[in-house]
Homo-oligomer: A and B are copies of this chain.
Amino acid sequence: MIFETIITSMDAAGRPHVTPFGIRHEGEFVIISPYKPSTTLDNILVTKHAVLNLTDDVRVFAGAFTNRQAWQLVVANKIAGFRLADCLAHVELKLTEVREDVTRPQLVMEKVFEQTHRAFKGFNRAQAAVIELAVLVSRLHMLPREKIEAELAYLQIAIDKTAGEHEREAWRWLIEKIENFYTVKQT
């Protein structure tokens, strides 16, 4: 089972890195599988720590895919690192094992500290639509334009019916990225 989350890591100089990650749970451990090469992988191998952020603010996801910093950070409680200032919950993690792989090593992370900040408000179809569109945006180079546009039209229904301001803003950022992609491709 894969959960779409935000992983914050830090480099040796103390600079934070924030990126969306699909993570898995394995018993009490969290498994992060970053591609080689990636900043998250480098950071965790150096500092041995990271933070798993559970947020319902889809602007953080859309922002990460469109070069916008749509978040604020605060220092973590028990480890050297950062967490999202605004999240429903966060889990501070320590690297305990590296399962090597040519393309995607598995980082086995132990939970050092967990904190719940706000309650889950329920499923919002617009938030799910933004997550789906973010997945499509990350695969623009691989998918036919007709498929992107067909799915976009379907996902748009949930935006029109159930979105709040955060979801509409995240949606616009992703739509702009898709439009730019096809404009550049045509010229």
Q: Give the contacting residue for A154; candidates B89, B120, B154, B162; CB below 8 A.
A: B154
Does A125 lie at the interface of the complex (its beta carbon under 8 Å from any beta carbon of B)? yes
Does A140 lie at the interface of the complex (its beta carbon under 8 Å from any beta carbon of B)? no
| 0 or 1 for each of A41-71: is its CB under 8 Å from B? (1 = yes) | 0000000000000101000000000000000
CB distance from A100 to the nearest CB of B (A): 23
Q: Give the contacting residue for A54; candidates B114, B119, B167; CB below 8 A.
A: B119
Does A175 lie at the interface of the complex (its beta carbon under 8 Å from any beta carbon of B)? no
Complex Cα distance, B3 from A161, in Å, reads: 11
Report the nearest B residue to A3, measured CB to CB.
B122
Stretch at the interface among A10-18, A77-85, A128-136, A176-184: A128-136
Complex Cα distance, B123 from A89, in Å, reads: 12
Taking CB atoms, residues of chain B closer than 8 Å to A2 are 124-125, 161-162
Complex Cα distance, B119 from A4, in Å, reads: 14
Does A116 lie at the interface of the complex (its beta carbon under 8 Å from any beta carbon of B)? yes
How many protomers of this protein does the assembly include? Answer: 2
Please determine whether B124 and A1 come into contact, CB atoms closer than 8 angstroms.
Answer: yes
Q: Find the residue from A123, A132, A167 having the highest chain B CB count within 10 A.
A: A123
Does A97 lie at the interface of the complex (its beta carbon under 8 Å from any beta carbon of B)? no
22 A-B contacts (beta carbon < 8 Å) = A1-B126, A1-B162, A1-B167, A2-B161, A3-B122, A3-B123, A4-B122, A4-B123, A5-B122, A5-B123, A54-B121, A54-B122, A56-B123, A88-B119, A116-B116, A123-B127, A123-B128, A125-B135, A128-B131, A132-B158, A151-B154, A154-B154
Report the nearest B residue to A5, measured CB to CB.
B122
Please determine whether B119 and A163 come into contact, CB atoms closer than 8 angstroms.
Answer: no
Taking CB atoms, residues of chain B closer than 8 Å to A127 are 123
Report the nearest B residue to A6, measured CB to CB.
B122
